[in-house]
Amino acid sequence: MAGHVSDFKKAPEEIIFDLINYDNPGKTISSAVMGLGVPVAAAGQNPVANTTLEVTALPDSGYTGAVTVTYNRLALDGFIAAAGIQGDLILPIGDAEKYKDLIPEINTALGINLTDKDYVDGDIGSWAGTPNETKTIQIPAHADSYVFLESLTLTLQSEDIPLAQVITVTTLSGLNYPVAPAA
């Protein structure tokens, strides 16, 4: 079976419904008629996919029952190369204090739609305040993410330090002529 290339800018639930509809042509399954359970890591030896998910018919939807589907969630780090980025993903720190503050920039850089349900938030930590400072962080995927697994490793780069914060005395002492040696 050929794989479906998803639009990762969509909401995670929509991505799953797109997969269901792709592999079940002629059907239009959506959140209006079906609910999604919690994704679970596939068990057993040599599972056909890394995730199982229960899809349940909603009341008054015209459908009944539930079915378990299997599919592969993707490692977050894999989206760096998929976005054509060579090496590390490097982002400016800006005013970010927590991982969630970086999500809009990450989504833009990687062409994805990380939502609050897709990652575990955390503190970025403090900075020493030195020029060209960098920090590597790892944003873990949430276990209940419909789309993502593992973690995203990225490098944060401090902003340039304004020179006015370093050179605070701008009226300098001036130069003096050398004093002639005493005769």
Q: What digits encode the pLDDT tens for the residues 44-82?
A: 888 889 999 999 999 999 999 999 999 999 999 999 999
Determine contact, residues 97/156, Cβ cutoff 8 Å: no
Question: Which amino acid, one-letter code, is at 69?
Answer: V
Q: What digits encode the pLDDT tens for the residues 145-176?
A: 999 999 999 999 987 777 888 888 888 888 88
Burial level of 170, CB count in 10 A (0-12/13-18/19+)?
exposed
Determine contact, residues 57/63, Cβ cutoff 8 Å: yes
Determine contact, residues 17/30, Cβ cutoff 8 Å: yes
Convert 64-89 into a string of H (helix), E (strand) and C (coil). Answer: CCEEEEEECCEECCHHHHHCCCCCCE
Confidence (pLDDT) at 87: 87
pTM, two decimal places: 0.82
User: How crowded is residue 34: how many other Cβ atoms within 10 Å of its Cβ?
Assistant: 19
Confidence (pLDDT) at 3: 67
Q: Residue 124's beta-bridge partner residues? A: none
Residue extents of the structural domains in the chain: 12-72, 75-159
